[in-house]
Amino acid sequence: MKPFQLKTLVAAAAVMLASSAALADVNIGVSLALTGPGSGLGIPMQKQFALFPKEIAGEKINLIILDDATDPGKGVTNARRFLTEDKVDLIIGSCITATSAAMTPVIAEGKTVQLSAAPVGVPPGQDFWMFRLPQGFTVMAHPIIEHMKKTGVKTVGFLGYTDAYGELWLKELQAQADKAGIKIVDVERFARPDTSVTPQALKLVSANPDAILVVASGSGAAMPHKGLIERGYKGKIYQTHAAATPDLVRIGGKDVEGSYVVSGPAVTAEQLPDSHPSKKVAVDFVTKYEAANGAGSRNQFAAHAYDSAIVLEKVLPVALKKAKPGTPEFRAALRDAIEGMGRTIFSHGVMNWTKDDHWGYTNETGVLLKVSGGKFVVEN
């Protein structure tokens, strides 16, 4: 064999090996609101994904992160690109409920797992390929209603988004408030892009409920809260887990002092009792995230990105025994492994997805926080 022939064969073999390795890479599409009103949720997740493992179970992990601009249509475009151009094995996103919901049918049609970073509600059976990283509405409404009962709240008002996130919270509030003997005296809505809720706030202040639940997210949660205070509301104000971000306190300032926010345990990791199953994992998330992004930068949605790595570390070894990345069989194996991964400790609680439950969390998950001195403090 001539020397140049040997070199050619060696080079060809190297190319084949490189190609084989590339095929074995696990490709993950991530769609986040990096611009628009939901950016206060998406940007912290992006920062956590910068800390994502480069390799899991011996396979290289490739993250393809795209901005959906807090726009459901853009989220759908991203999902289609992930499926048709990038040939991803799994999709994470979006962090906005309406955007994530719009992506779900497209991803399901592509028979690919979606780890939603928003608490998406879909009709029974339509979440076959979709699993939620955030806690469900039933789980997170539980500590709010319990606190209302404990503090003597008899009437409540609702001020929330007109989209799916607002609707699902309203449905849960109605169900749990009714059981607790708490009357809903007024329901007001607003759109995510709105810059004022003056008419709605005036109606709520006039109704004068003992408490008001504000249903908004990220930096957008401060505006309706401030609107209520500026119109003279003096009762208790509660916020949902999408508002458990530093932006609420930073933008809301003194107007949000004394208010209550439900959250997963990750945001107040050090304040959790040692008996809490998530304390060790939550502290690990906070320590690493703040080492990279600065003290006090912890964020509820960044913790969902952290928890997505826990999912992959548990299910990839299982799926790899059945198929290779980049194939329909591997995507199906990932779905089955997630559905059957059993009790798993997240920074945000104890997860136990099953065939009949793609929400997974239990009522012990939600932690009620109080804004005190510009910080979130666990309410006892």
Rounded to whole angstroms, the Cα distance separating 215 from 97 reads 12
- Gap between the terminal Cα atoms of the chain: 80
Picking from 263, 282, 299, the residue at the C-terminal end of a domain is 263
Lowest mean pLDDT among 21-25, 36-40, 247-251, 275-279: 21-25
Picking from 245, 263, 281, the residue at the C-terminal end of a domain is 263
Q: What is the CA radius of gyration of the chain?
A: 22
Residues 146 and 184 in one domain: yes
Tell me whether residue 275 is in a domain: no
Residues 58 and 102 in one domain: yes
Residues 122 and 160 in one domain: no
Residues 244 and 211 in one domain: yes
Residues 255 and 341 in one domain: no
pLDDT at 309: 98
pLDDT at 175: 97
Rounded to whole angstroms, the Cα distance separating 258 from 254 reads 9
Q: What is the CATH number for 205?
A: 3.40.50.2300
Residues 108 and 12 in one domain: yes
pLDDT at 12: 45
Tell me whether residue 278 is in a domain: no
Given a cut of 60, whether residue 363 has pLDDT beyond it is yes
Residues 110 and 157 in one domain: no
Q: Which amino acid is residue 346, in one-letter code?
A: F
Highest-confidence segment of 148-152, 242-246, 364-368: 148-152
Tell me whether residue 378 is in a domain: no
Tell me whether residue 184 is in a domain: yes
pLDDT at 22: 43
* Residues 364 and 371: beta-carbon distance below 8 Å: no
> What number is the average pLDDT over the span 129-142?
93
Residues 83 and 157 in one domain: no
Count of the separate structural domains present in the chain: 2
Given a cut of 80, whether residue 13 has pLDDT beyond it is no
> pLDDT of 278-316, one tens digit each?
999 999 999 999 999 999 898 889 999 999 999 999 999
pLDDT at 4: 42
Residues 23 and 129 in one domain: yes
Query: In Å, how far from its chain's centre is CA 359?
Result: 12
Domain around 295: 3-135+291-351
> pLDDT of 266-278, one tens digit each?
988 999 988 888 9
Rounded to whole angstroms, the Cα distance separating 368 from 380 reads 8
Residues 160 and 44 in one domain: no
Residues 248 and 329 in one domain: no
Tokens of 22: 């590339």
* Closest among 144, 166, 140, 142 to 156, alpha carbons compared: 144
Lowest mean pLDDT among 11-20, 178-187, 347-356: 11-20
Tell me whether residue 359 is in a domain: no
Given a cut of 60, whether residue 17 has pLDDT beyond it is no
pLDDT at 276: 86
> pLDDT of 49-67, one tens digit each?
999 999 999 999 999 999 9
* Banded pLDDT at 244 (limits 50, 70, 90): confident
Tell me whether residue 356 is in a domain: no
Tell me whether residue 326 is in a domain: yes
* Residues 224 and 214: beta-carbon distance below 8 Å: yes
Given a cut of 50, whether residue 258 has pLDDT beyond it is yes
Q: What angle do CA 239, 304, 323 make, to 5 degrees?
A: 150
Rounded to whole angstroms, the Cα distance separating 116 from 118 reads 5
Tell me whether residue 366 is in a domain: no
* Banded pLDDT at 10 (limits 50, 70, 90): very low
Residues 204 and 299 in one domain: no
